[in-house]
Amino acid sequence: MAATHIIAIDQGTTGTTVLVVDRGGRICGRGYREVPLAYPAEAWVEQRPEDLWDSVVGALGEALKSAQVGGDQVACLGITNQRETCMVWDRASGRCLSPAVVWQCRRSAAICDALRAARHEALFTQRTGLLLDPYFSGTKLRWLLENHGPVADAAAAGTACFGTVETRLVHQLTGGREHLSDYSNASRTLMLDIQRLCWDEELLALLKVPVSMLPRLVPNAGLLARTSGLGFLPDGIPISGLAGDQQAALFGQGCHSPGDAKCTLGTGAFLLLNTGATVPRSRHGLLGTVAWVLDGRPTYALEGSAFVAGAAVQWLRDGLGVISRSSEVETKAASVPDSGGLCFVPALTGLGAPHWRSDARGSLWGITRATTSAHLCRAVLEGITLQNRDMVKAMEEDLGRPIRVLKVDGGACANSLLMQLHADLLGVTVERPAELESTALGAAYLAGLGAGVWASLEELQEVRRVERLFAPSPAGPHLEELLLRWRRLVTLS
């Protein structure tokens, strides 16, 4: 039987989605498994590596079953993943030596403070495009080396393997044969020189990370590895596309040209703008990152990252019980014309770009006797939007021109009120695709490109479909009042 389908694995923070995609870019099957998070101490976030793998296996089986596709019909496989999450395992046994330290985890804040106090941040930023923040993998890895005995012992013995999530999944999908990372994920570690596209020995020395722990670097599409020893998939399926989730979404949204921008609204919010062959240097708290490397040529992106977006709606549901299902937030928020003077800063795990304040905490201001749960729901949606507005305005300052169109994806984009708020408060046209799972589709497109299913980027543009455009409404006086409240509360958070 002809191999005509692509498997796309999207291993995210709260769950794993697997899609089966055909040559026309249509989703033929879908599987999903949740992944639990653990919070063993304040500002710590962990996951069990076994849970990540089990979620991939379960979602993959469900996707193949729903598509009625057998393993012999799979032409290739692509992976996208939560990016900065850090794992260490033993080279010989393949056994993980620590929990997965999730990108949201802030345990390495003191390491960042010490490196910054020693005036090393400018070097890290110049080489990696990043800031010294606990968000990134390198300081998480140093924390494990200094505080987790099994990791330190294995590193001293030369048997420890470091990886972000795609590295670990490739290791498992190949029966332990491969230890590799793609450039987009590697660019999120604080250890990659994004101009020379290599691990930087000076930064490794500052982080006290042995080079022996690091994976081999590979491009984002091509014959990168092959499946082996799985049982649930045949041996020899090409693993031909890898990318961090936000770069995969940029690719999946068809943002292939300089100036194209997208915002993914999932657990957090991530705004990326394609800068082509130019390494971006932000003056306003944004990041430079590798978008992808194809045919030996790097494409870069300017990025703003907010740690909490959809997670704020989950907090309304699970923490406060204001709603019973996430989808209810739109109905409740739409039942009132405004937030009734409420202002909410969603700094539940600190503030990301452009503020970069790990000490910030969520804030709610303006409660009166007339405040209702509907006002709170609307204030949360406005807070998510205003946080993204800060990133867009910083990006426009760096670019020296406005962003006219913002492509959106992620589960939170199903909320049409949230999308209209983005159009109105950001002053952009918001473009929502027919399929919101642009991250997984980006992995499928990269894999298909790498395996020859599609011959070019131009051919890929033809398979993407737009569902709706949200045009900005004229700004009224309430916008200035809202912005004034927002700026004041951000300062106090």
Give the pLDDT confidence score for residue 472 in this predicted structure: 92
What is the full DSSP assignment across 219-260?
-SEEEEEE--S-SSS-TT-EEEEEEEHHHHHHHHTT--STT-
Taking 3-state DSSP, the helix, strand and coil percentages for the chain, each rounded to the nearest 5, stand at 35, 25, 40
Inform me whether the pLDDT recorded for 464 exceeds 90: no
Inform me whether the pLDDT recorded for 44 exceeds 90: yes
Return d(Cα 219, Cα 183) in angstroms, integer. 6
Give the pLDDT confidence score for residue 477 in this predicted structure: 63
Q: Quick one: average pLDDT of 465-489?
A: 86
pTM of the model: 0.90
CA–CA–CA angle 24, 407, 340 (5° rounding) = 135
**The domain 5-245 is classified under which CATH number: 3.30.70.3270, 3.40.47.10, 3.30.420.40, 3.60.21.10?**
3.30.420.40
Q: Quick one: average pLDDT of 88-116?
A: 94
Answer whether 182's CB lies under 8 Å from 220's CB.
Answer: yes
pLDDT in tens, 289-340: 999 999 999 999 999 989 899 889 999 999 999 999 999 999 999 999 999 9
pLDDT in tens, 402-435: 999 999 998 899 999 999 999 999 999 999 998 8
Answer whether 341's CB lies under 8 Å from 301's CB.
Answer: no
| Strand bridging mode 238-244 / 74-81 | parallel
Q: Quick one: average pLDDT of 169-176?
A: 97
Give the pLDDT confidence score for residue 212 in this predicted structure: 95
Give the pLDDT confidence score for residue 478 in this predicted structure: 76
